Chains A and B, each alone.
Chain A
Amino acid sequence: MSFRTSASEAAANPLIPHTAELIVGTIAFALLFLVLRSKVVPMFEKAFAARTEAIQGGMEKAEKAQRDAQVALEQYTAQLSDARGEAQKIREEARVQGAAIIEDLRGKAQEEAARITAAATASIEAERQQAITSLRNEVGSLATELASKIVGEALDDQVRQSRIVDRFLDDLEKSK
């Protein structure tokens, strides 16, 4: 039998190949190659590509989120500094306004005080004039009465009487 002889030859030398094995080996390898190339490799490559994409997509998303957060932070910081500036401005304004109000009130008060003082002075002056006038009249008549009593003569001459009194009073003022 051909197999027996080939087997015994091969037994003597294991380096001699068997025809059947060469054929089957070639076909088996070719078959496996075709299956793996058409069915397996593309699928694994697809999975790898999808995974790479997923990772890249995730990283891009994270980067975008970070950028957004950064922008928001800057925005808030800007708003905060704006608000601070505004508050400062308002305080400044209020201070200025307050100072103006105080100044205004002070002026008004001083005016009022001056007015009151002036009114008081005027009223005092008027009263003094009135007092002087009445005093002069009273002193005149008293002095006349007194003088007439002393002199014993009636000083009823109106003109003379008045002249005497005036002279007296003038003397009085001069001696003062």
Chain B
Amino acid sequence: MRKFAFADSGEGFVPPSTADFNLPPVFGDNEFTTKPILLVLFSVVLISVFFIIASRKAAVVPSKLQFAGESVYAFVRNGIGQEIIGHEFMRFVPFLFTLFTFILTNNVFGIVPLLQFPAMSHVSFPYVLALISFFVFHYVGIKKQGLGKYLKGIAFMPGVPKFVYILLTPIEIATFFLVRPLTLSLRLFANMFAGHLLLLVFILGGEHMLSGAIGLKLIAPFAFAFGIGMTFFEFMVQCLQAYIFTLLTALFIAGALADEH
């Protein structure tokens, strides 16, 4: 797509845009074979295989592979689950673990050579994850406290003067049913989207300068160097976003489990 754009416009540089995120299906016209979809499916296979092999022996003295898998698992289990949710955390560990590994892997695909596309920059996937997170924490809250008490807890936060409810109740309802899933998904999506766009700007820009005048050719290496620097930065953002998404989900669950919030 980009190459055609170059050919059409001749010398003019077309900056990367949202159109660059719309990759055509790999196989014919089948919508289920776009790059992000294949990447997501690949990530499922990759994560499953890695962790099944890593955890297969469940040895007291772990191998390097088991240790690596265990570290990630323990990070989610203890660092997020136990820390945030408390004594009931074990029920949610599989969910949080899946969430973290799924997001992390698909994010990091953004800087893996040849793959080089973060699936989470397609908003559909963050939507799905945020929706699952939304249903999970509401379900947990309703099951724990009963529908009426749970909704009352959200709408009328206890320990607040009555007249504040005029302001607080709409805000609380919006927070729990709209803002939380939206921010959860958009935060992840926007970070991945912007990060990928940034890398495109530096790397495609550098490529374009390389084909331009001599002066531009001299500057091109700087663009590439910056692109490489941004790649490291992106890696950090990708890990951080996976962590934040999981952490917030755990916080929502913890909030739904708590009798008073």
Q: Give chain A's interface residues, CB within 8 Å of chain B.
A: 1, 3, 7, 10-12, 14-22, 24-26, 28-29, 31-33, 35-37, 39-41, 43-44, 46-48, 50-51, 54
| Option from B24, B34, B95, B102 in Cβ contact (under 8 Å) with A20 | B34
Give chain B residues whose Cβ lies under 8 Å from the Cβ of A48.
Answer: 74
Closest to B128 in A: A25
B86 in the interface, Cβ–Cβ < 8 Å? no
15 interchain pairs (CB within 8 A)?
A7-B22, A14-B18, A21-B36, A21-B37, A24-B41, A25-B40, A25-B124, A37-B94, A39-B51, A40-B54, A43-B56, A44-B55, A44-B73, A44-B74, A44-B77
Q: Given the known inter-chain contacts A28-B41, A28-B44, A36-B47, please indicate yes or no for A41 contacting B94, CB distance below 8 A.
A: yes
Q: Given the known inter-chain contacts A28-B43, A32-B44, A36-B101, please indicate yes or no for A22 contacting B128, CB distance below 8 A.
A: yes
* Contact segment of B59-67, B154-162, B199-207: B59-67
Q: Give chain B's interface residues, CB within 8 Å of chain A.
A: 18-19, 21-22, 24-25, 29, 31-32, 34, 36-37, 40-41, 43-44, 47-48, 51-52, 54-56, 58-60, 62, 66, 69-70, 73-74, 77, 93-95, 97-98, 101-102, 122-125, 127-129, 132, 186, 189, 193
Q: Which of B41, B52, B94, B102 has the most CB of A within 10 A?
A: B94
| Option from B18, B40, B98, B186 in Cβ contact (under 8 Å) with A33 | B98
**Minimum Cβ distance to chain A for residue B222 (Å):** 29
Q: Is the CB of A47 within 8 A of B58?
A: yes
Q: Given the known inter-chain contacts A11-B19, A28-B43, A44-B55, please indicate yes or no for A36 contacting B48, CB distance below 8 A.
A: yes
Q: Given the known inter-chain contacts A3-B25, A3-B29, A20-B31, please indicate yes or no for A31 contacting B44, CB distance below 8 A.
A: yes
How long is the Cα–Cα vector from A32 to B48 in the complex, in angstroms?
7
Q: Is the CB of A44 within 8 A of B32?
A: no
**Minimum Cβ distance to chain B for residue A126 (Å):** 109
Q: Which of A3, A14, A46 has the most CB of B within 10 A?
A: A14
| Option from A7, A16, A22, A36 in Cβ contact (under 8 Å) with B51 | A36
**Minimum Cβ distance to chain B for residue A102 (Å):** 75
Give chain B residues whose Cβ lies under 8 Å from the Cβ of A3.
Answer: 25, 29, 31
Q: Is the CB of A36 within 8 A of B36?
A: no
Q: Is the CB of B124 within 8 A of A18?
A: yes
Chain B facing A: main interface SS:
helix
Q: Is the CB of B29 within 8 A of A20?
A: no
How long is the Cα–Cα vector from A11 to B16 in the complex, in angstroms?
12
| Option from A18, A31, A46 in Cβ contact (under 8 Å) with B31 | A18
Q: Is the CB of B123 within 8 A of A41?
A: no
**Minimum Cβ distance to chain A for residue B88 (Å):** 15
Q: Given the known inter-chain contacts A14-B193, A46-B58, please indicate yes or no for A36 contacting B37, CB distance below 8 A.
A: no
Closest to B41 in A: A28
Q: A14-B189, A15-B189 are in contact. List 6 more A-B contacts (CB 8 A).
A: A1-B29, A11-B18, A20-B32, A21-B40, A24-B32, A32-B98
**Minimum Cβ distance to chain B for residue A124 (Å):** 106
Closest to A14 in B: B18
Give chain A residues whose Cβ lies under 8 Å from the Cβ of B125.
Answer: 21, 25
Closest to A51 in B: B60
Q: Given the known inter-chain contacts A29-B98, A41-B97, please indicate yes or no for A24 contacting B52, CB distance below 8 A.
A: no
Q: Is the CB of B122 within 8 A of A18?
A: yes
Closest to B55 in A: A43
Give chain A residues whose Cβ lies under 8 Å from the Cβ of B77.
Answer: 44
How long is the Cα–Cα vector from A14 to B17 in the complex, in angstroms?
10
Closest to B78 in A: A48
**Minimum Cβ distance to chain B for residue A152 (Å):** 148
How long is the Cα–Cα vector from A161 to B127 in the complex, in angstroms?
174
Closest to B93 in A: A41
Give chain A residues whose Cβ lies under 8 Å from the Cβ of B52.
Answer: 35, 39-40
How long is the Cα–Cα vector from A31 to B84 in the complex, in angstroms?
26
Give chain B residues whose Cβ lies under 8 Å from the Cβ of A36.
Answer: 47-48, 51, 94, 97-98, 101
